[in-house]
């Protein structure tokens, strides 16, 4: 099968969605499929390369069309509307690779949908967050789970997050592009039950989708539990970890990740184990971290996986409805229980035997959950064993066949629709 995977972000940049596309691409290539990846170009990176049997194309945007004007190598985000330079490049790549299925994630989907106009190539849209109907991608409004998009709410949230000018453009663009995406969409993949439900309601449930058929599947992210050592790069980070067992947080240092809630709950503990934070700083990162916390930034994946072996448990107290929570499943694959939150994808990963889910933003509940896992080693170890077993649900051998079946279902639906269209045209003539 010829697959084209399009995504807003891709390694070498660090992030859960980045790595998920890479894992899917590599594993599909290893299973005999012809895989092409398309992602935005960044300064200092090649426009095309081969990696592990996957062809990676990095396409320019309007703002990077002239190489001489690009003077930095920072990660660039795809605009929330069809970029004309990107669309032109996508059409060329589509013509060269002739994919049977296009699988897209992120705001790049809007450019892909326009590039596919006039072509009968099925489009699978991955909902790994709330990208297609939430301008801030968090599904939060004033710090609480949002009931759904509306012009006033979206403009308010986007203006607070991006600034007024950029916020207005972002909110308006996302709203305007939704129907374009739905018209071209053949299938919807969601990473969790919660993401599926809200995406169907707020993306697929609008009037533009009336009468349309599409394939729907909820398939979790792939957990790669293997550690591939990378010499001194790994050791340089691991040497900074405490010698005694510690509490571990992994993720972007963003407000929506609940770091401030974690810090307050941790301060209430009596003589707690060390707190280790592994992630990346963002513009909304907390200004103050606990003085005795160990903060490791931009750690590679193999380092993170190795760090779990020294942890007592993980704590990921997200304020937003976490779409899935790959780091939660990764911790469980290493035999570590996790404290997560109740609304969102954590509910698909953690059960009562393998961890503890607390209400979003509830400092008291988080404090009590941490005390339980610190003070009851027998329960903690039993949860760790259950967590390792449950993590098998998210291993490649469990997840990848489901993606292959999803691709086959999409091709089957596209074939039926093409046949129906052909019969209709014949009857009309």
pLDDT digits (tens, 9 = 90+) for 25-50: 999 999 999 999 999 998 888 999 99
Strand order in the sheet with 246-250: 294-297, 275-279, 246-250, 311-315, 338-341, 355-358
Domain ranges of the chain: 2-222+398-428, 232-393
Distance CA 37, CA 7 (A): 8
Fold of 232-393: Rossmann fold (3.40.50)
Nearest to 327 by CA among 14, 67, 16: 16
pLDDT digits (tens, 9 = 90+) for 335-349: 999 999 999 999 999
Mean pLDDT within 411-427:
62
Distance CA 95, CA 97 (A): 6
CB-based burial label for 286 (10 Å; 0-12, 13-18, 19+): middle
What is the pTM (predicted TM-score) of this model? 0.90
Cis upstream peptide for 304 (omega within 30°): no
Distance CA 407, CA 101 (A): 7
Choose the weakest-confidence range: 107-111, 151-155, 213-217, 366-370: 213-217
Q: Give the pLDDT score at 260.
A: 95
Nearest to 161 by CA among 180, 137, 186, 178: 137
Choose the weakest-confidence range: 9-13, 51-55, 410-414: 9-13
Mean pLDDT within 387-415:
95
Would 2-222+398-428 and 232-393 be classified into the same CATH topology? yes
Choose the weakest-confidence range: 6-15, 67-76, 81-90, 407-416: 67-76
Q: Give the pLDDT score at 70.
A: 74
* Partners of 357 in beta bridges: 340
Q: Give the pLDDT score at 235.
A: 67
Q: Residue 414: pLDDT above 70?
A: yes
Q: Give the pLDDT score at 12.
A: 85
Using pLDDT thresholds of 50, 70 and 90, give the confidence band for residue 212.
low
Largest CA distance in the chain: 82
Question: 87 by DSSP, 3-state: which?
Answer: helix
Q: Give the pLDDT score at 64.
A: 85
Using pLDDT thresholds of 50, 70 and 90, give the confidence band for residue 422.
very low
Fold of 2-222+398-428: Rossmann fold (3.40.50)
Residue 414 and residue 359 in contact, taking contact as beta carbons nearer than 8 Å: no
Highest mean pLDDT among 218-232, 266-280, 286-300: 266-280
Mean pLDDT within 223-249:
74
User: How does DSSP assign 274-285, residue by residue?
Assistant: PEEEEE-B-TT-
Mean pLDDT within 343-369:
97
**Tokens read off for 72:** 């930095």
Residue 300 and residue 230 in contact, taking contact as beta carbons nearer than 8 Å: yes
Mean pLDDT within 401-411:
96
Choose the weakest-confidence range: 186-190, 200-204, 349-353: 200-204
CB-based burial label for 2 (10 Å; 0-12, 13-18, 19+): middle
**Tokens read off for 103:** 């699988």
Q: Mean pLDDT of all residues in the chain?
A: 90
Residue 36 and residue 98 in contact, taking contact as beta carbons nearer than 8 Å: no
């Amino acid at each position: 099968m010829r697959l084209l995977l399009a995504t807003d972000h891709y390694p070498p940049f660090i992030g859960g969605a980045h790595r998920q596309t890479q894992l899917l691409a590599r594993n599909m290539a290893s299973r005999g499929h012809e895989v092409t990846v398309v992602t935005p170009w960044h300064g200092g990176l090649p426009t095309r390369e081969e990696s592990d049997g996957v062809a990676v194309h990095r396409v320019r945007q309007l703002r990077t069309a002239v190489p001489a004007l690009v003077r930095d190598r920072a990660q660039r985000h795809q605009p929330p509307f069809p970029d004309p330079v990107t669309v032109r490049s996508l059409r060329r790549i589509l013509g060269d690779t002739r994919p049977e299925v296009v699988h897209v994630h992120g705001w790049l989907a809007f450019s892909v949908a326009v590039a596919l106009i006039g072509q009968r190539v099925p489009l699978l849209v991955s909902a790994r967050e709330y990208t297609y109907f939430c301008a801030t991608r968090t599904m939060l409004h004033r710090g609480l789970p949002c009931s759904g998009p509306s012009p006033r709410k979206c403009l308010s949230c986007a203006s607070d997050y991006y600034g007024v000018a950029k916020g207005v453009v972002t909110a308006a663009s996302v709203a305007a592009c939704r129907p374009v995406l739905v018209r071209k969409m053949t299938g919807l993949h969601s990473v969790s039950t919660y993401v599926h439900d809200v995406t169907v309601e707020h993306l697929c449930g609008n009037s533009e989708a009336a009468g349309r058929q599409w394939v729907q599947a909820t398939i979790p992210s792939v957990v790669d539990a293997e550690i591939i050592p990378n010499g001194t790069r790994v050791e340089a980070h691991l040497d900074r970890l405490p010698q005694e067992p510690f509490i571990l947080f992994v993720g972007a240092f963003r407000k929506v990740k609940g770091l401030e809630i974690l810090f307050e709950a941790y301060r209430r503990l009596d003589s707690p184990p060390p707190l280790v934070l592994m992630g990346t700083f963002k513009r909304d990162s907390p200004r103050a971290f606990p003085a005795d916390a160990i903060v490791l930034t931009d750690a590679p994946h193999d380092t993170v996986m190795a760090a779990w072996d020294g942890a007592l448990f993980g704590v990921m107290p997200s304020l937003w409805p976490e779409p899935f929570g790959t780091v939660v499943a990764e911790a469980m694959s290493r035999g570590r229980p996790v404290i997560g939150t109740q609304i969102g994808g954590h509910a698909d990963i953690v059960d009562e035997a393998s961890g503890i889910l607390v209400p979003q933003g509830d400092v008291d509940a988080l404090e009590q959950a941490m005390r339980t896992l610190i003070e009851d080693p027998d329960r903690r170890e039993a949860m760790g064993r259950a967590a390792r077993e449950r993590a098998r649900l998210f291993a490649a051998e469990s997840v990848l066949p489901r993606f292959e079946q999803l691709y086959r279902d999409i091709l089957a639906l596209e074939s039926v629709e093409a046949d129906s269209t052909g019969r209709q045209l014949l009857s009309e003539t």
